[in-house]
């Protein structure tokens, strides 16, 4: 547990805490990365790999897997309903937060993030292994009959309504993407979007504002200053966060939900690759 | 179009491997990427070290061309943030394109990449797997342009 005055401090654990709980049978470590082969190069002992694309998304439709497939995925990794799942990964935990958010879509609430992610674990000289663990199949009864999309996920129409009604939208992309000066992330290839800019009325708060140099999350007070004093969010606001495909905004969703304690935050995972390609979608530049 | 012989050997090896072994081989190639850096005392005809806006870290490509055979030798340096697939492709290309003439390098089609990597690993976020080949072709084109220009001035 990390004490930086967070609203839900138990949602974040340190690398040291993870090192001390590697043999805990009620805990499963999940590594989730952007670099598809990074897990294979070495991972924390006992960690399983969940691929954001192959494991969590439907192969055909742009959507997530079904409740049945999610249950099968958990069981395959020895995860039962009462297993606490600790996520970590590369890119300051983008994909770890994304995987955690998807687990929440399916109603799994015993979830944590390892603060600082893979970078911090490695920078501290901690051990990695290539041994892939195998666990006895878990027994997973879906906590809900269908995904809880309506609670923490936003779709195009909802983001559009949010924009028209002047309710908070947080654009977590880089300033250049927000202003419409570029249609790809800095340091990334173009991902096939036709228009640049942002959803009208959205505030620009790049995801990176929430992390320190060592990839750990900033303190409650620092985060409150960024999101409330500077971006104008208020307690009780119904907030939608978005980026390009929903992973950076999962990071911000985690910050707002678990670290600042906002109760109504949704991630618009269609994000700019949907909005910027959609015929007739209103766009603001600058 | 047939692939160059050395590259073709690597492609055929990968095509014969089941997915798990394919991944293991990619990791093995990725781990040898650092050995593709210039060796002490090596000299080059062209060097191109830069960090492109679309790439996560800096990549240096070094080209030496044998005056007698016109065979290319590539060396590559990679920044620490470069993705594992890109590291693997660096080793594969340094070996697979070794000894080709500049004209042959330019002609190498990029469609071998999914054959090595596997279609499931080539996705939007891993398009930089093509990046090293693009950079190698780029530096080779510069060399060819200079050669052409030098010939015109003789």
> pLDDT grade, residue A188 (50/70/90)?
low
Distance from CA of B84 to the nearest CA of A (A): 6
pLDDT-derived band at B152, boundaries 50, 70, 90: confident
pLDDT reported for residue B151: 85
ipTM higher than the 0.85 cut: no
Confidence band for A57, pLDDT divided at 50, 70 and 90: very high
| pLDDT per position as a tens digit, A158-171 | 999 999 999 999 99
Angle subtended at Cα A261 by Cα A259 and Cα A263, rounded to the nearest 5 degrees: 135
CA distance B82 to A37: 12
Residue A33: its pLDDT value, please? 96
CB contact under 8 A, A189 and B53: no
Shortest distance between the Cα of A232 and any Cα of chain B, in A, equals 31
pLDDT at A187 over 60: no
Which residues, in sequence order, are CB contacts of B123 under 8 Å at separation 6+?
A36, A53
Q: Is B126 on the interface with A (CB under 8 A)?
A: yes
What are the residues whose beta carbons fall under 8 Å from the beta carbon of B56, sequence distance 6 or more?
A: A187, A188, B79, B81, B82, B83, B128
Nearest to A285, CA basis, from A167, A195, A210, A225: A195
What pLDDT, in 10s, does the model give residues B109-145?
A: 988 988 898 877 766 666 677 889 999 999 999 999 9
Predicted pLDDT of residue B124: 60
Q: Which residues of A are designated catalytic?
A: 243
Per-residue pLDDT, B114: 85
At residue A150, the pLDDT reads 94
Among chain B residues, the shortest Cα distance to A188 is held by B54
Locate tokens 């809880």: which residue? A148
Contact check, Cβ <8 Å, B84/A186: no
The helix/strand/coil state of A139 is coil
Chain-chain contact of A41 with B88 (C-beta, under 8 angstroms): no
- Is residue A162 within 8 Å of A169, Cβ to Cβ? yes
d(CA A222, CA B118): 44
Nearest to B26 among A37, A190, A191 (CB): A37
Q: What value does the mean pLDDT take over residues A205-214?
A: 95
Residues of A in contact with B30 (CB under 8 A): 37, 41
Is the pLDDT at A126 greater than 60, yes or no? yes
- Token reading at A117: 């992610």
pTM for this entry: 0.90
- Contact map slice: B 17-46 vs A, CB within 8 A: 23-24, 26-27, 30-31
Residue of chain A minimizing CA distance to B30: A41
Contact residues on chain B for A53, CB-CB shorter than 8 A? 123
For residue B64, the SS3 value is strand
Q: Does B132 touch chain A (CB under 8 A)?
A: no
Residue B76: Cβ within 10 Å count: 24
d(CA A269, CA A218): 24
Residue A259's pLDDT band (boundaries 50, 70, 90)?
A: very high
Give A12-33 pLDDT, tens digit per residue: 999 999 999 999 999 999 999 9
Interface test with B, best of A89, A189, A245 (most B CBs within 10 A): A189
Segment B71-92 shows an average pLDDT of: 94
pLDDT tens for B13-65 read: 999 999 889 999 999 999 999 999 999 999 999 999 988 766 678 899 999 99
Are A189 and B84 within 8 A, CB to CB?
no
**CA geometry: angle at A206 spanning A202 and A210, to 5°?**
125
Q: What is the pLDDT of residues A68-119, one digit of tens each?
A: 999 999 999 999 999 999 999 999 999 999 999 999 999 999 999 999 999 9
Tell which residue, A264, A239, A188, A210, has the closest CA to residue A94: A210
Q: Is B12 on the interface with A (CB under 8 A)?
A: no
Provide the pLDDT for residue A182: 81
Q: Residue A208's pLDDT is what?
A: 93
Mean pLDDT in residue range A147-162: 97
Q: Assess whether pLDDT exceeds 80 at residue B11.
A: yes
- Contacts of residue B119 in chain A, CB cutoff 8 Å? none
């Amino acid at each position: 547990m990390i004490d930086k005055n967070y609203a839900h401090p138990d949602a974040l654990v340190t690398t040291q805490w993870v090192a001390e709980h590697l043999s805990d049978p009620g805990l499963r470590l999940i590594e989730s990365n952007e670099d598809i082969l990074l897990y294979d190069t070495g991972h924390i002992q006992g960690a399983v790999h969940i691929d954001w694309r192959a494991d969590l998304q439907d192969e055909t439709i742009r959507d997530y897997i079904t409740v049945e497939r999610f249950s099968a995925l958990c069981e395959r990794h020895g995860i039962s309903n009462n297993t606490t799942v600790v996520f970590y990964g590369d890119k300051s935990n983008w994909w770890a937060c994304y995987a955690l958010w998807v687990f929440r879509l399916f109603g799994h609430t015993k979830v944590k993030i390892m603060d600082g992610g893979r970078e911090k674990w490695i920078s501290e000289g901690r051990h990695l292994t290539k041994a892939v663990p195998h666990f006895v199949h878990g027994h997973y009864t879906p906590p809900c009959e269908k995904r809880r999309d309506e609670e923490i996920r936003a779709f195009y129409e909802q983001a559009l309504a949010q924009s028209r009604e002047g309710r908070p939208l947080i654009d977590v992309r880089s300033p250049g993407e927000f202003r419409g000066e570029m249609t790809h992330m800095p340091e990334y290839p173009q991902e096939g979007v036709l228009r640049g800019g942002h959803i009208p009325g959205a505030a620009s708060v790049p995801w990176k504002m929430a992390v320190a140099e060592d990839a750990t999350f900033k303190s409650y007070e620092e985060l409150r200053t960024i999101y409330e004093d500077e971006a104008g969010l208020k307690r009780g606001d119904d907030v939608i966060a978005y980026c390009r495909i929903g992973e950076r905004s999962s990071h911000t969703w985690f910050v707002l939900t678990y670290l600042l304690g906002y109760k109504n935050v949704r991630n618009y995972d269609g994000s700019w690759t949907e909005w910027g390609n959609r015929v007739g979608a209103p766009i603001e530049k600058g | 179009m047939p692939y160059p012989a050395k590259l073709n050997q690597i492609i055929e090896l990968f095509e014969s491997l089941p997915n798990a072994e394919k991944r293991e081989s990619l990791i093995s190639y990725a781990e040898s990427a650092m050995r593709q850096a210039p060796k002490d005392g090596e000299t080059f005809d062209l060097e191109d070290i830069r960090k492109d806006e679309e790439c996560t870290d800096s990549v240096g490509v070094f080209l030496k061309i044998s005056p007698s055979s016109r065979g290319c030798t590539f060396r590559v340096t990679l920044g620490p943030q470069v993705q594992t697939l890109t590291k693997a492709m660096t080793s594969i290309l340094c070996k697979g394109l070794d000894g080709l003439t500049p004209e042959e390098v330019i002609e190498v089609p990029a469609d071998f990449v999914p054959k090595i990597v596997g279609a499931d690993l080539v996705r939007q976020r891993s398009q930089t797997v093509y990046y090293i080949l693009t950079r190698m072709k780029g530096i080779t084109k510069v060399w060819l342009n200079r050669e052409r220009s030098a010939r015109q001035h003789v």
